[in-house]
Amino acid sequence: MTELPPLSSDSDLAARAGVSLEAVQLLRGTEVIDLHIESFIPPRLWGYDLRKRHGTLALGGRFFGHLDFPRALDGGLTGGMWSVATNILRGKKGRLAAVKKNIAGLADVVGQTGDRMRVVRTFREFEAARRAGAHAVLLSVQGGNAFDASPTGPLVIEDRLLTRVTVVHLSNSGYGGTSSPLSLMSGGRGLTDHGRLFIEQLNEGRIYVDLAHIAEEGFWDVVAVHDRDQPLLVTHTGVDGVRDMWRNLNDKQIKAVADTDGAIGIIFQAGFLKRPGGPKDGRMVIEHLRHVIDVVGEDYAALGSDYDGFITPPPDLRDGGVGFPRLVQYMLDEGWSVERIQKILGGNFLRTFRAIRPD
Ligand SMILES: [Zn+2]
C-alpha cells in the first residue's frame, strides 16, 4: 500500500495554477470526470509509478507524464475513464491475454490507494465511492480489437468490470475502419459483420460504445445498429466546426450522439484543436466545447483529455495537476454559468452513466 499525499489547500492550488480561488472552489465542489485517461501506458512502457506525484514533465509534457494518481486527485478529478490501450503489433491471442492482464493490473494498482480511488461499475457504485470520498475509476479499453479472439467479445471480461470500449483505434480492425490516415493501408472503413456482432455484445453488457477514432462510415453504421436506448459516447475528440480534420466530428455526428442522449469529450491534443489564428493555450479546448454547445446545447459537452496517450496538450494543460482549474477559469472568463460548467465537468457524463449502468 502506498499512501497517496493529502490534497493541497484550495488557495495553494489556485496559486500553483495561477487561477482564482473561485475557479478552484467551483472545481472542487462538483463532480469532475475525465472521459479518457491513458496514464496506464507509461507504467507498461517503463515502470512509471502512478501512485507517485511526478513533479517535472518529461520532454516538456509532450506525449507523456501528464498525470498520476496524486495529481488527478489534487487537480480536481473525482472520477475518470482510465483506459487500457491495445497494442496492435500483438497477435489476436496475445491482445486478448494482454487486455485481461492489463485490466487486472490497473484495477490492482487502484486497489493500492487506501480507498482514495475505487473501481466502480455502476452509477450506484459511483455514488457510494463519492460518498466515501474516493475518486471513481471506470475501467475502459481503447481498441476493440483487443477482443478479436474472444467469441463473446468484450463480455469475456467478467463481473461487469469493463464500462467502455473504443470500437477502433489508430488502425483498421476486424470490426471496422479507423479515421486515421493509417486506414489507407487497408480495406473498407465501414462496420464489418464481425463489428456488428461486437456492437451487439457491447449493448448486451451495457458497455458504452465509444466512437472516438472510428471512420465516418463506421460511425453511421454503429448509429444504425446500436441499441437506441443506450447513450453513445465519443470520449476524446475535437470538432470540425472549429478545426476540420480527420480525427474530429462534424455537426451531423455531434447531433447523432446528442440524439442518443450521449456525451462528447473534448480532447486536449493541440494538434486536433488548434485553428489558424486561434488561441495557443487551453482556450482552444473551450472553442471546441462552445461549438458542441452551439450545435446541440449544453447537455452533451464533456472533457476527455487523453492525458498520457501520446498527445501534446497546449502548454498550460500539460500538467494534469493544474489543467482542470485552468479550464474552469477559462469557462468563467467566458461568462458561462456555474450550471453549464458543472454539466461539462461531469454532470452530462454522469447522466449517461446513470442511464446505461444504473445498478
Ligand atoms: Zn485515442
The model's pLDDT over 261-293, given as tens digits with 9 standing for 90+, comes to 999 999 999 999 999 999 999 999 999 999 999
Q: How far apart are CA 196 and CA 192, in angstroms?
A: 6
pLDDT single digits (tens) 290-326: 999 999 999 999 999 999 999 999 999 999 999 999 9
For position 183, what pLDDT does the model report?
59
For position 43, what pLDDT does the model report?
84
Q: Evaluate if residue 186 carries a pLDDT over 60.
A: no
Burial degree of 261 (CB within 10 A; 0-12, 13-18, 19+): middle
* Predicted structure pTM score: 0.96
Q: 88 vs 281, which has greater pLDDT?
A: 281
In angstroms, what is the span from residue 12 Cα to ligand 1's centroid?
Answer: 32
For position 250, what pLDDT does the model report?
98
Q: How many Cα atoms occupy the beta-carbon half-sphere of 140 within 13 Å?
A: 32
Q: Evaluate if residue 128 carries a pLDDT over 90.
A: yes
Query: How would DSSP label each residue in 151-176?
Result: TTGGGGS-TT-EEEEES--SS-BTTB
In angstroms, what is the span from residue 272 Cα to ligand 1's centroid?
Answer: 12
C-alpha cell belonging to residue 282: 487551453
In angstroms, what is the span from residue 309 Cα to ligand 1's centroid?
Answer: 7
Show me where the domains of the chain are located.
23-356
Q: Where are the alpha helices (DSSP H) in 36-91?
A: 41-46, 69-74
Least confident of 36-50, 213-227, 293-307: 36-50
In angstroms, what is the span from residue 266 Cα to ligand 1's centroid?
Answer: 12
By the 8 A CB rule, do 266 and 289 touch?
yes
CATH architecture of 23-356: Alpha-Beta Barrel (3.20)
Least confident of 24-33, 47-56, 321-330: 47-56
In angstroms, what is the span from residue 146 Cα to ligand 1's centroid?
Answer: 14
pLDDT single digits (tens) 103-119: 999 999 999 999 999 99
In angstroms, what is the span from residue 97 Cα to ligand 1's centroid?
Answer: 21
In angstroms, what is the span from residue 35 Cα to ligand 1's centroid?
Answer: 11
pLDDT interval class at 87 (50, 70, 90) = confident
